[in-house]
Structure 1
């Protein structure tokens, strides 16, 4: 392996994905670096300039010029940190989220077009090759938040949701097979009959494998969405995956025209409840019950999307 080998691969890959073909307007009207900053902001809603500078290894002056441009375009808002007035929080506006989503959609379409040329029998080999490159060049570095992607479910993913929910809740909380039956019914109902404009599933993927999931489905109450089956693999926790999955549900529910998001959980799920609280959910009711072989306290939580829009999610 030589420097020439790596540079040759870089030239090949940039041509393959069209990164140098500005006529395609993949990132227009923003540069690749600006689009990368937008991506980071979209997936880290409570970051600041110092975090961005460290995460992306950008020059402070260069990043400042990018953020100034974003602010002039109405894509971001900057506020002083409550903990350190020298630091400035950077958050996307509604327009900023829409722009980031558009750029992500264009990038996904570009890569999907590239993958369409790869035979399905070669895709596992390609995926393994990409993982190998990342593992070798990361030199043992632990995974970062940016390594996680949220995507729609593919073949087998709905079955994975059932299997991993059942296995994790059995291992961590001692739930019996009744819980697996409940999850299987929820997933089967979604698979058989769902409205893609009002209901959706997200899979969190890390290094080519699913490590988390969540569902947004219609509730019986008009104008109400229900968040269901949030789970994150133990070895992927600490990367903000739960926060991103809940954010995805909230953003989708708001865009779909729902007035509120509700969920049911149990008081023993402390980490999940803290995520819900951070996003503005309020506890509205709780009741003891015997389910899944355990004595539990069920909780109903609710998020008013109209009130949350003006607050800090």
Structure 2
């Protein structure tokens, strides 16, 4: 964007978002000092306050990926927090319902949330409380008019800095060991990619982003030179489990594409495997095409190496 006035206003809105989320405390990894993430607490809230619901309704209302919600539901079922019951409107399907134990677990969270907001309001006088409520009503009214628009989710993207490459290396190694059982050779590969990126870094043609929620790193991605004229590599995509379901992976990829186009690249290239199913869904949704594949044994597992390409024009 080349409009300086609009850019200043965008910066002001983003600054307000960061300020408000720090004040209200909703983006802590352990929300309200609990073991639940923000998304998990949102699911509990919907079931506690609106009764039993179909999974599809929760996905729609909370903007969640179906697979991500399924993992939360499985976790909650195993912990005895919810159960599946016959739908009140369609006997062939199941709805989700909190158990008595689920309500017992949720009620202290709800109480703590009310107390935190009450404490924030109590620091304001009557007139200032009304000003705050009026301002919130104005924000809801103005933004609500733009029905159907996809607004930014509660994460911030920034350029990489000191210590970020070490974090990317460590979290890639740990994540893929936990998720896919890959051995340490994968972490060694990521370490080499990060080292090469830092050593030959060209800020005009390369960029790495770190995603943060509540001041904590939860994701990464990078655009790197490929060695081929006009072709950039998409590298180091990572989204932590606690940040899934809010469109972060898609936003990271979009950010790469915007930078690549501005830098003059014509195409994007990436390497992945058939085992990285969530990432492949994102690439496919963005229009990437599979152009090469090869069965290999790597990182202690049998897999298929894949090369994907996207025309940026």
1:136 to 1:176, Cα distance in 2 relative to 1, 3 A: closer
Per-residue deviation, 1:299: 0.7
Per-residue deviation, 1:184: 0.3
Task: Work out whether 1:195 is the aligned partner of 2:85.
Answer: no
Which residue in 2 is equivalent to 1:157? 164
Q: 1-side partners of 2:296 and 2:5: how far apart? A: 41
Task: Work out whether 1:282 is the aligned partner of 2:289.
Answer: yes
Q: 2-side partners of 1:239 and 1:150: how far apart? A: 14
Give the counterpart of 2:25 among 135, 148, 169: 135
Which residue in 2 is equivalent to 1:87? none
Per-residue deviation, 1:264: 0.6
Which residue in 1 is equivalent to 2:229? 222
Which residue in 1 is equivalent to 2:273? 266
Q: 1-side partners of 2:204 and 2:277: how far apart? A: 31
Q: Is the contact made by 1:283 and 1:302 (CA closer than 8 Å) also made in structure 2?
A: yes
Residue aligned with 1:146, SS: coil
**More relative contact order in 1 or in 2 (CA 8 Å, sep 6+)?**
2
| Runs of at least 5 residues in structure 2 that lack an aligned partner in the other structure | 40-61, 63-151
Which residue in 2 is equivalent to 1:122? none
Per-residue deviation, 1:131: 6.2
Q: Is the contact made by 2:27 and 2:213 (CA closer than 8 Å) also made in structure 1?
A: no
Which residue in 2 is equivalent to 1:235? 242
Q: 1-side partners of 2:27 and 2:305: how far apart? A: 46
Q: 2-side partners of 1:105 and 1:249: how far apart? A: 23
Per-residue deviation, 1:133: 2.4
Per-residue deviation, 1:154: 2.3
1:252 to 1:102, Cα distance in 2 relative to 1, 3 A: farther
Q: 2-side partners of 1:104 and 1:170: how far apart? A: 43
| Runs of at least 5 residues in structure 1 that lack an aligned partner in the other structure | 1-96, 112-126, 307-313
Task: Work out whether 1:302 is the aligned partner of 2:309.
Answer: yes
Task: Work out whether 1:103 is the aligned partner of 2:110.
Answer: no
Structural RMSD (CA)? 3.1
Give the counterpart of 1:246 among 247, 250, 253: 253
1:290 to 1:99, Cα distance in 2 relative to 1, 3 A: farther
Task: Work out whether 1:211 is the aligned partner of 2:218.
Answer: yes
Which one is further off, 135-144 or 186-195? 135-144
- Report how many aligned residue pairs link the two structures: 194
Per-residue deviation, 1:134: 1.9
Per-residue deviation, 1:98: 5.7
Q: Tell me the TM-score normalized by structure 1.
A: 0.56
1:15-62 CA deviation, whole Å, 9 max, x = no partner?
xxxxxxxxxxxxxxxxxxxxxxxxxxxxxxxxxxxxxxxxxxxxxxxx
Per-residue deviation, 1:190: 1.3
Q: 2-side partners of 1:104 and 1:146: how far apart? A: 20
Q: Tell me the TM-score normalized by structure 2.
A: 0.56
1:137 to 1:291, Cα distance in 2 relative to 1, 3 A: closer
Q: Which has the larger radius of gyration?
A: 2
Per-residue deviation, 1:99: 5.3
Per-residue deviation, 1:107: 2.1
Residue aligned with 1:147, SS: coil
1:209-248 CA deviation, whole Å, 9 max, x = no partner?
1100001100021110000110100011001000000001
